[in-house]
Amino acid sequence: MQERNLQMAYKIAEAAEKHGGRAYFVGGYVRDFLLGKVCYDIDIEVHGIEAEELERILSELGECEKDGCLYGVFNLQGYSLDIALPRTEIRTGAGHRDFAVTVAPFIGTEKAAERRDFTVNAMLQDVLTGEIIDHFNGREHLSARVLRHVNDGSFAEDALRVLRGAQFAARMGFSMAEETKALCRDMDLSVLPRIRVMEETSKALLFAEKPSVYFTLLKEIGQLSVLFPELFALIGVEQNAKHHAEGDVFVHTVMVLDECAKRRPLVKEPLGFMLAALTHDMGKAICTELVGGEIHAYEHETKGLPIIERFMHRLTDERRLIDYVLNMAELHMKPNTLAAAGSSPKKTNHLFDRSVEPSDLIHLAVADSLGKIAPRPYYETEPFLLERLEVYNRIKEQPEVTGDDLIAAGLKPDKRFTELLAFAHKLHLAGIGKENALKQTLAYARKLK
């Protein structure tokens, strides 16, 4: 598919040249090309041709999709290509989308590149010759692995660029130039739509080797409290040095986040898993206290749930995702506690039965133990928990008493059925076979009369 898209890009460039224009790869494609990476998002900018002429050229090469043609953006059906004309943008309001866009095919490569966010994204590459056009030293900054904004005025007009910079830094392992940090500190991020905040945050959580960079950079430039006040509240919250020598709860949280990033390929719900890592200790902001000369945060895993829910609603209304995060946060301490105590299969079965994704819960619990500097030797809980998960999965595969079984045994459906089925389910989790469990459940039903 990539090769097919590139072949079409070359055809577009040839056709543009015949009509006096020039086509360039722009943005992330050029950046990743110079980094030796494959970029599947191919953006082409065509200079020197009016919009109507470009549309006609594209229509001769395929079925031209016109959804974005008002802003000089075109697509060809069946290809993953964004084809655009150079344009200028002027902010007309406070939100990210409040811009007046003017198509400007003849402004030249320097003016066109000037509206880009960072110099490493402002380079162009001639589609036909491969020549790199670099008006703002992007290649130099790429080698230095530093993000530096292109233009003070245009950068400051779009608050989303602060988040883009933070997630670029996290995903690419770049630092941010001090002058760019200074500009970011003065920008108002409160105007950003939550869908855009969620998009950029998700990229950092899902694709960065160290997602901690995203949040620590926002903290450094004074923007963490604006977007993520619940996370900001963890800064300075002390922890018991017996278990956490790394520092405050915020430091522990981002360490856990990076440990979880190593386990993303192993979990079933990667985004929810990373959000659970980010939020799991938010309750410590209200539960931490000094008891008997030691710092404790008793019940933070349950008392923090309303805080976590508020945080999640600031990002999304997706109920399934919110419920996953709340469930993981509530249970995150229990796997290690049960493992350390060598608890019975009955107890671990009950824990896994409460979990929306038991295997994900194990990974979160292990990452929670690894994401700190502990003076005491680390107790290896993972083998125990994985072994017990196999026990739980084997039990789940066995037949269980159902409502139909109770009816077949002569019971009439009534208000007792909920309690009876719950009783039968407990027997099932204890490893009791269906026939025996049914007998015990029927005996229990007689006691309820």
> In this model, does residue 92 exceed pLDDT 90?
no
Judge whether residue 292 has pLDDT over 80. Answer: yes
Q: Which CATH architecture has domain 1-139?
A: 2-Layer Sandwich (3.30)
Confidence of residue 93 (pLDDT cuts 50, 70, 90): low
Per the CB < 8 A criterion, the answer to whether 165 and 218 are in contact is: no
Which two tokens mark 128? 């036909």
> Six-digit token pair at 4?
């097919």
Q: What is the per-residue pLDDT across 315-369, written as a single tens digit (0 to 9) for each?
A: 999 999 999 999 999 999 999 999 999 999 999 999 999 999 999 999 999 999 9
Asked: is 228-397 a CATH 1.10.260 domain? The reply is no
DSSP state, residue 413:
P
- pLDDT, tens digit, 9 for 90 and up, residues 174-187: 999 999 999 999 99
User: What's the pLDDT score for residue 98?
Assistant: 57
Cβ neighbours of residue 342 closer than 8 Å, sequence gap 6 or more:
384
Token readout for 372 is 């700190």
pLDDT at 239: 84
| Per-residue pLDDT reduced to its tens digit, 100-157 | 678 889 999 999 999 999 999 999 999 999 999 999 999 999 999 999 999 999 999 9
Q: Identify the pLDDT of residue 69.
A: 55
Three-class secondary structure of residue 87 per DSSP: strand
Q: What is the rounded distance in angstroms from the CA atom of residue 256 to the CA atom of residue 370?
A: 7
The 10 Å Cβ neighbour count of residue 16 is 25
Closest CA to 156 of 112, 204, 90: 90
Model confidence over 231-259: pLDDT tens digits? 999 999 888 777 777 889 999 999 999 99
- pTM of the full predicted structure? 0.91
Q: How confident is the model at residue 91 (pLDDT cuts 50, 70, 90)?
A: low
Q: In which band, very low, low, confident or very high, does the pLDDT at 67 lie, cut at 50, 70 and 90?
A: low
Question: Whose CA is closest to 352, among 317, 313, 394?
Answer: 394
Residue 368 phi, psi dihedral angles, 5° rounding: -65, -35
